[in-house]
Chains A and B, each alone.
Chain A
Amino acid sequence: MTVTHHPTEATLAAFAAGTLDEGRMLVVAAHLAACPECRRTVRMLEATGGVLLDDLPPVDVGSDALARAMAEIDGGGRDAGLSARPGRGGEVIPGLSPAHQTLLASYEMGPWRWVGPGVSWRQIETPTLPGGRVFLLKAAGGTALPDHTHTGTELTCVLTGAFRHEHGRYGPGDVDEADDEVDHTPIVEPGGECICLVAMQGRLKLNGLLGKVLQPFVRL
């Protein structure tokens, strides 16, 4: 899988700093699962964080801090890794890579909902994410996604299939970052269906007649 469209430096830096909201963090993680180059960048940033941490002038900690940490260590065990998380009962989403299946496995999701001819979406539940939303968007080959603009930013990672718009072709692992100045009409490549992971802040505004008809039902 060759990735050509990457998140911006600012987005990668925010991911490494832990300041992205959960939806955008999930989209960046989906990209990283497919992009060794950006994984290297994140590791480089973490190494940079380590150096900056090491160089900070220390501040005083309580005289009993070590003793309290020792007491806590004696109270608990040592674990070997991340504990298992609840998931969607092992449901597999067809067409996704194993890494993307794993990434999404711990999230509750709503049912697929129809948005327009050949297009459906599926809400991903992220209770910690106020004011933004993250969902899967699925479109059949050859479909034009609804012409839309946003009131906030939209971060998309292709999970399977491909779409095109004026900035090029977006295949698995590619990320498309759009802000409120972008008005785009992505078209899914003919052939297989395309599933994207989309994190959105603000509201989506559908343009055109179809959009006017659909908007009240879609709630995007």
Chain B
Amino acid sequence: MAIVEGAKGSVRDHDRLIEAIAARADREAFAALFAHFAPRVKAFLMRSGTAADLAEELAQETLVTVWRKAALFDASKAGASAWIFAIARNLRIDAARRQRREMLHAMAEEPEPELAPPPDHDMEAGERQKRVRAALDHLPGEQRRIVELSFFEGRAHGDIAGLLDIPLGTVKSRLRLAMNRMRSLLGDLT
């Protein structure tokens, strides 16, 4: 197969690949998606403390889940990477809790009939991802680091305080500042 392991496609391409899986069970699209995301999902899981073997197994399961749930993917709501991140996050949790947690996270997507603004269909997934990346780059390094450790790697605030040798209150205030900053930059985005 002529796919370079870990090749970086454009963001829109990833959305199209998932749509191709949904529309016609496109195995080449799956292989391309796998080549990009499986090594990254494995890296993500290893960062949050999962052993390499299990991380590989769960990365594989993440991509298989992408195949199975491709019909639920909606590029106007979340880009491919955000969607795959959410799947990998749910798998990071032990199997006993998994099903319920998925349902609880699905609450975050429940549309509010009276209040929700119509989704911005004009916004291309690539544009959204670019803006999120710009907002992240806009954060002071110390705040970005807290976002990575706390939110992405799922570490407890106490661990982060120890790791960075800063008081617990500083961890909390940096996370709060980072989230407020991102909300003000991206409030119109989703």
A interface with B by C-beta (< 8 Å): 8-10, 12-14, 16-19, 22, 25-26, 28-30, 32-33, 36, 39-62, 65-66, 68-70, 72-73, 76-82, 85, 99, 103, 106, 127-128
Q: How far is the CA of A62 from the CA of B38 in the complex (A)?
A: 10
Q: How many of chain B's residues have a CB under 8 angstroms from any CB in A?
A: 89
- Looking at chain A's contact residues, the main secondary structure is helix
**Partner among A10, A18, A50 whose Cβ is within 8 Å of the Cβ of B93:** A18
Most chain B CB inside 10 Å of its own CB: which residue of A17, A28, A53? A53
Encode contact with A along B8-45: 1 for CB under 8 Å, 0 otherwise.
Answer: 00010000000000000101001100110111111110
- Which A residues touch B80, using CB under 8 A? 50
- Which B residues touch A58, using CB under 8 A? 5-6, 39-40, 42-43
A17 touches B154 (CB 8 A): yes
- Which A residues touch B39, using CB under 8 A? 58-61
A128 touches B96 (CB 8 A): yes
**Partner among A49, A79, A85 whose Cβ is within 8 Å of the Cβ of B152:** A49
A39 touches B40 (CB 8 A): no
- Which A residues touch B89, using CB under 8 A? 16-18, 49
Query: Given A13-B175, A19-B154, A128-B97, is A47 in contact with B129 using a C-beta cutoff of 8 Å?
Result: yes
Q: How far is the CA of A48 from the CA of B47 in the complex (A)?
A: 16
- Which A residues touch B180, using CB under 8 A? 9
Query: Given A51-B132, A58-B43, is A72 in contact with B60 using a C-beta cutoff of 8 Å?
Result: yes
Decide yes or no whether B102 CB sits under 8 A from chain A: yes
B43 touches A54 (CB 8 A): no
A22 touches B151 (CB 8 A): no
B40 touches A9 (CB 8 A): no
Decide yes or no whether B107 CB sits under 8 A from chain A: yes
Within 8 A of A (CB), among B109-138: 109-110, 112, 115-116, 128-129, 132-133, 135-136
A13 touches B136 (CB 8 A): no
Q: How far is the CA of A17 from the CA of B187 in the complex (A)?
A: 19
**Partner among A33, A36, A59 whose Cβ is within 8 Å of the Cβ of B42:** A59
Q: How far is the CA of A105 from the CA of B63 in the complex (A)?
A: 30
B88 touches A41 (CB 8 A): no
A–B pairs, 14, beta carbons within 8 Å: A12-B179, A17-B154, A18-B105, A42-B108, A44-B190, A47-B189, A48-B152, A49-B86, A49-B151, A50-B132, A61-B56, A78-B71, A106-B100, A128-B97
A47 touches B132 (CB 8 A): yes
Encode contact with A along B43-65: 1 for CB under 8 Å, 0 otherwise.
Answer: 11011000000001001100110
A49 touches B82 (CB 8 A): yes
Q: How far is the CA of A46 from the CA of B62 in the complex (A)?
A: 16
B38 touches A61 (CB 8 A): yes
